C-alpha cells in the first residue's frame, strides 16, 4: 500500500491523532501502527481491505446523519 494513501485514509477515519484509534480498530499494537506511519515497516497486505471496510462504514454513518440533518431542516 502506498504510504501516503495509508496516512490519508487513517486521517480521514480518525483525524490528526489517528495512531491509537487505528491500532484499536485493527487490533494491533500501537507501536506497529507508528512503524507503518514512520515508514520503518511496510503496511501489510491485509490492511487496505480493513481500511476499505472502516471507510465504508464511516461513509454509511455520515450519509445517514446527513439525511437526518436534511430532514430536520
pLDDT in tens, 15-66: 999 999 999 999 999 999 999 999 999 999 999 999 999 999 999 999 999 9
Could you list the residue range(s) of the whole structural domain that residue 18 is in?
3-72
Q: What is the C-alpha to C-alpha distance for residues 21 and 56, in angstroms, rounded to an integer?
A: 17
Domain count, the chain: 1
Check residue 72 and give its pLDDT: 80
pTM of the prediction?
A: 0.90
Block residue for cell numbers 476499505: 52
Amino acid at each position: 500500500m502506498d504510504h501516503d494513501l495509508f496516512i490519508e485514509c487513517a486521517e480521514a477515519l480518525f483525524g490528526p491523532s489517528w495512531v491509537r484509534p487505528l491500532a484499536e480498530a485493527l487490533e494491533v499494537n500501537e507501536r506497529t501502527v507508528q512503524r507503518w506511519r514512520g515508514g520503518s515497516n511496510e503496511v501489510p497486505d491485509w490492511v487496505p481491505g480493513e481500511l476499505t471496510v472502516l471507510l465504508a462504514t464511516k461513509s454509511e454513518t455520515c450519509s445517514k446523519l446527513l439525511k437526518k440533518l436534511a430532514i430536520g431542516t
